[in-house]
A and B are shown apart, each in its own frame.
With several copies, the nearest count.
Chain A
């Protein structure tokens, strides 16, 4: 099985081939000297040219993978035949108007703008309270607030779209 993987922006190809009961692995076409075992779901011990890495993979709400590798943290996207459609869709969406999403579950305690307002990148859109802290959610870009979906007092989930800016 061959996987296209976007990691830290750069594309990369990983080939996994059955060899006896295990996998042999090649990176961007060249065979890698890898000894990998899964210690528990999503937790891998990977020996790469003798260097020992513990790698933890967990899926994010937006369909990307959050990967802790040693002390480094990466966001990756796997593109394989099965998931091709979903990824593409996500990609397209990102090119359209920008969504302002709730970064964590919480309660909307205050709206700072109204639909139609012009906002600068980084300007506060609304305030969410979570874990007893008030957090200002800022605009990802300069533009006009098109849809303002959140209402004061409303409970929101992580990843929930609160507004659109175009």
Chain B
């Protein structure tokens, strides 16, 4: 087993990985940019080294600096997390050159499966059904636009190097094409250093259902079942669950076999995800392969009981996958929501800044994977993901009830988050019935949210009182509200209490 692992990432996934290291007795080495010095992953790691200025192209995307730290800190393995360099074949190659183990697939498998066009060519050869569209990067917008005409709108523009909805645009008609092409290209360039795009036909109201696979170095490839990630805003997954409300054991087996077939064809090793679109007839079409750990991996962990990061490390260390895992069936139901520093009231603009106060949920069935803490300043330079709230329950209903409960306990000030959006989603009838598709949320968001279904009649009154007390405190603590630590109750409080007990609330 490894002695020391370099975590080439930041935020919640860096924390997730160093926890796995600690549980395995492996030392963890964090890296940080100038604005991440006080980040949670630096606080929790065994060692931490600076790798440059805030912009990721000068820090987290600098393979040379990462290899330098790995060498000097004496690491024998590197975990890339997701995003940044996770799907860049140059990293595993650099690791090989430096004599450290890359915890992930070989560069060749990344190339064979990672790029969406190559992945689709392979899928066709492996008899995995695919969505019609271009197989290769398209250089000229004109070519792309004429292909769009042939396929018929709507079409989807995607970054060759893409992931996480970045560098992706839905084009409803020819008029929108030029600007969509421009925005997707420049977003892709900024996110991945690669502006190349391709396009495909856009299915109407499909579900996004993906299969988690694990492959060891000894030829074994297994499926851990599906995750449904149909609740997306502009192709950005927001809610993920396992099992899918519509996947039957039969369909699970079919999709799992297709995913395993494709992984074998690509010589895949370690953890990966094969994404499919599933239409109303429950026919599935290959979408792409993510040759890395997914943001949403915890929902699979919660229903299988497996620790995917530990398994990634074990596989990279050459361990074999036990046979038993081929027959894994999900237990209960798990659901994850992605908490972002963004403002749903204001067109989901990013909302970086200092976290002034917060209340995090705990208790039965609740798991939190996060990368922030109270008092920390969420930097403006990276993805706005604060963390993930994951609930588990015996049934989808119990899971949703727990998630809703946790979201009611969740509160943060200083930055805005999308928590209220999730409270809205979890109250929607369609969602409760599992009647969702990849455009469901975008359609929902065209309708303004109904005012407070939560029936807190006095909330406005309480807010006004708090505002006055807050203003009073601005004059200096002395004039403020009673502090919690003051002990004996005041006369008026006793008054109030007597009055409370003299009447039915």
Contacts and interface: CB of A to CB of B under 8 A. Distances in A.
Contact of A16 (B49, B383, B460, B468): B468
Contact of A134 (B45, B73, B183, B420): B183
A26 to B, nearest CB: 10
Interface stretch (A64-72, A92-100, A113-121, A143-151): A64-72
**Residues of A contacting B: mostly:** strand
Contacts of B48: 47, 50, 52
Contacts of A37: 37-38, 481-484
Contact of B469 (A23, A32, A49, A135): A23
Contact of B492 (A24, A49, A82, A127): A24
Secondary structure of the B contact surface, majority rule: mixed
Nearest to A155: B380
A27 B468 CA distance: 10
B450 interface: no
Interface residues of A, number: 73
Contacts of A3: 467-468, 471
A129 interface: yes
B319 interface: no
**B interface, size bucket:** 35 or more
Given A3-B471, A38-B482, A69 B463 contact: yes
Contacts of A16: 468-469, 472
B482 A23 contact: yes
B195 interface: no
B481 A71 contact: no
A72 B30 contact: no
Interface string A60-103: 00000111111111101010101100000000000000000001
Contact of A131 (B346, B384, B471): B384
B188 to A, nearest CB: 11
Contact of A45 (B43, B413, B414, B486): B43
A43 B499 CA distance: 25
Contact of A36 (B373, B457, B482): B482
Interface string A27-47: 100001111111111111111
A111 interface: no
Interface string A105-131: 110010000000000000000010111
A45 B42 contact: yes
A144 to B, nearest CB: 22
Interface string B179-205: 000010011001100000000000000
B351 interface: yes
Given A22-B482, A72-B454, A104 B380 contact: yes
A65 to B, nearest CB: 6
Nearest to A83: B471
Interface stretch (B96-104, B245-253, B295-303, B352-360): B352-360
Contacts of B191: 132
Contacts of B38: 37, 39, 45
Interface in B356-413: 356-357, 359, 373-376, 380-384, 408, 411, 413
Given A36-B469, A74-B463, A48 B458 contact: yes
A109 B182 CA distance: 12
A58 B462 contact: no
B43 A52 contact: yes
B433 interface: no
Contact of A52 (B45, B356, B359, B481): B45
A129 B349 CA distance: 10
A16 B490 CA distance: 14
B465 to A, nearest CB: 6
A32 B191 CA distance: 38
Contacts of A76: 463-464, 467
A50 B490 contact: no
A82 B30 CA distance: 39
A160 interface: no
Contact of B341 (A25, A69, A131): A131
A66 B380 CA distance: 21
B497 A35 contact: yes
11 contacts: A14-B465, A14-B467, A19-B492, A34-B465, A41-B357, A46-B466, A49-B500, A55-B463, A57-B466, A57-B467, A67-B466
Given A39-B376, A70-B456, A71-B420, 10 more contacts: A12-B464, A36-B465, A37-B482, A41-B357, A42-B357, A46-B466, A71-B423, A72-B454, A106-B350, A131-B341
